[in-house]
Amino acid sequence: MPHHTLAREEAIEVRAFLDLFHSAPRTMVDHDQLAFASIGDGCVVSLPFAPAIGLNRVLGLTDVNDLDRALKWFTGRAGARHVQINRSGATREVLQWISDRELRQLDGSWTKLSREAPASPIQWSSPVEVRLAGISEAKLFGELMCLGFGFPPKLAPFWSSPVGKQGWSCHVAYWNDIPVGTATMYVADGYAWLGGGTTLPEYRSRGVQGALICDRLNVGAGLGVDVFAVETVEPAPGKNRTSYDNLLRWGFRPLYTRENFLITR
């Protein structure tokens, strides 16, 4: 079976999550069953108490042998377990693998988007100020992200862990000096992965996410990033598409869509 090279926009996300899990507090390994592994060009990550698909999934695998290794790795682990696959780009063998293992497709596929670095710094028209979080703001950053996403507070130390770490930038948005939103960026080899973008509910629709996108583009360009990659929920009729529209507004274009499958056995 031929080997399919993983798209760079996917590979940077794999690197980001492996690094993120490696940086997590040791207590999460000892007490919360945090685990991760590199398989082929992709990875598997597991944090059973976390509700997010992104923290309990198989990512970046494109052949059935690697996918079988990933499912074996997940055997006996607690929590929901997911596989993300770009069905439109998958081989016949992978499509048959999905069917044979009775994976259940979930609502809410994820669209991968990307854009090139801006030629000059981007300005945004809103009173939002964005600052890079330092070590002293790590606790604030993790707690703020959990509030924005509605994650359990117990997850805050996980999201605090990349603050100040090499390869990462963690951005906090302020409204009149009140911290109201967060975002992260991981940079390696001219590519950047953007994630963790959220806003406190009472400050939404005020341009916070637009400011966080622009700030990461500017910071990334200064670090030599050529291509920025990000993913968000695929727009569906009648559903909120603010995140998707914000990315389009600031120059991102969709590349492909990944379906989310639940491992049921």
pLDDT at 2 over 50: no
Instruction: Name the token pair of 5.
Output: 């090279």
Burial of 235 from C-beta contacts in 10 A (0-12 / 13-18 / 19+): middle
What mean pLDDT comes out for the span 24-52? 97
Rounded-to-integer distance, Cα 158 and Cα 142, Å: 7
**Are 173 and 202 within one domain?**
yes
Q: Residue 138 pLDDT more than 60?
A: yes
> Are 156 and 237 in a shared domain?
yes
158 and 213 co-located in one domain: yes
Q: Is the residue at 262 inside a domain?
A: no
Q: What is the CATH number of the domain that holds 167?
A: 3.40.630.30
Closest CA to 13 of 227, 252, 224: 227
What average pLDDT is seen over the chain? 95
Residue 46 and residue 77 in contact, taking contact as beta carbons nearer than 8 Å: yes
For 34, the domain range is 8-111
User: Last residue of a domain, which of 111, 127, 152?
Assistant: 111
- Is 163 contained in some domain? yes
Summarize pLDDT for 202-254 with one digit per residue, the tens: 999 999 999 999 999 999 999 999 999 999 999 888 777 899 999 999 999 99
- Residue 4: the pLDDT is 57
Element holding 261 (H helix, E strand):
strand 253-262
State whether 95 and 193 are in the same domain: no
Model confidence over 158-181: pLDDT tens digits? 999 999 999 999 999 999 999 999
Amino acid in position 138: A
How high is the pLDDT of residue 264? 86
Q: In the chain, what's the furthest Cα-to-Cα distance?
A: 57
- Spatial distance between the Cα atoms of 34 and 67, rounded to a whole number of angstroms: 20
